[in-house]
Amino acid sequence: MQKLSSLVHRTTFAPSIANHVAKTSLFIFASEWPFSILSPRSSCQDFQKEAIPLGFLKWVSLGFFRTSRFATGFTALQPRALDSIMDIERAKDKSPEDLASIWDDYHLGRGHIGTSMKAKLYHLLEQRAADCQYFVIPLWRGNGYTTMFAQVKIPHMMFTGLEDYKARGTQASPYLTVCHYMEFAESKDLVLIRGDVVFPSKLSDSEAEWLLETTQSFYLNDVRYKLVERFNKQTHDFEFKDVLQALDMPLL
């Protein structure tokens, strides 16, 4: 499989973002917040109605989940349309490389993540996420890690802390929400990705960026994806230490 790094555009930051964005005049600055101000439970009503597979219950027997329903309230905030964020007509004149760079630069330091990927890779992510929606990612902090839970239902991705879900059950809120935009997939072979940190007190921009990239790697790398499949389909055989080893993290 082609190397992930050659297909996913990493975020590259220009020295003067304000000047760069102002010069391109692509973005609409009417509002900084990319999502409608709605309760997480009040939008995307059909987003996560599936019951948690029974196999998960054995793996989470340590008390991570209180019910057999998985994060019923863990739904995406309603994202803004792309044309409310950027001037799509002006963007059509940009090369894929320039558009990806401008998109990335615009989101720097705003509590958001801006990145992009090739359309072919997006379709692979979509295909695999349809089959395996859930995964757990250790986020390293200091001398240990915090376990994050990912729900991937394209075009959305959402992350919350597993301990938060243990404490709050279906009322747990996402720390990070991600939306994929397909407007330039056919014309530029480019899918724009926007991540929004919902709780900056619980997740920094750099942590959110790492979390998104790492989750992508588990879905898009053939070897790592086997762990995602095991978590979703053969939960009795799933070992969290395998995830730690895949990320070169110590076993605590």
pLDDT digits (tens, 9 = 90+) for 211-232: 999 999 999 999 999 999 999 9
Q: What is the pLDDT along the chain (252 residues), one digit of tens a residue?
A: 433 333 333 332 233 333 433 334 565 533 333 333 223 333 333 334 344 444 444 344 333 332 323 344 444 556 778 988 889 999 999 999 999 999 998 888 778 899 999 999 999 999 999 999 999 999 999 888 999 999 999 999 999 998 887 787 667 789 999 999 999 999 999 999 999 999 899 999 999 999 999 999 999 999 999 999 999 999 999 999 999 999 999 987
Task: State pTM to two decimals.
Answer: 0.73
Q: Return the pLDDT at 168.
A: 78
Q: Return the pLDDT at 237.
A: 93
Per the CB < 8 A criterion, the answer to whether 208 and 113 are in contact is yes
- For the record, the structure tokens of 153 come out as 């239902």
**How many Cα atoms sit within 13 Å of 20 on the Cβ side?**
16
pLDDT tens per residue across span 103-150? 998 888 778 899 999 999 999 999 999 999 999 999 999 888 999 999
- For the record, the structure tokens of 106 come out as 């615009």
Q: Return the pLDDT at 73.
A: 44
Q: Return the pLDDT at 173.
A: 86
Per the CB < 8 A criterion, the answer to whether 154 and 124 are in contact is no
Q: Return the pLDDT at 30.
A: 32
Find, among 44, 77, 31, the residue nearest to 198 by Cα: 77
Q: Return the pLDDT at 78.
A: 67
Q: Return the pLDDT at 169.
A: 64
Q: Return the pLDDT at 180.
A: 97
Q: Return the pLDDT at 38.
A: 28
Coil, strand or helix at 208? helix
- DSSP code string of 169-224: GGGPPPSEEEEEE-TTHHHHS-EEEEEEES-TTT--HHHHHHHHHHHHHHHHSHHH
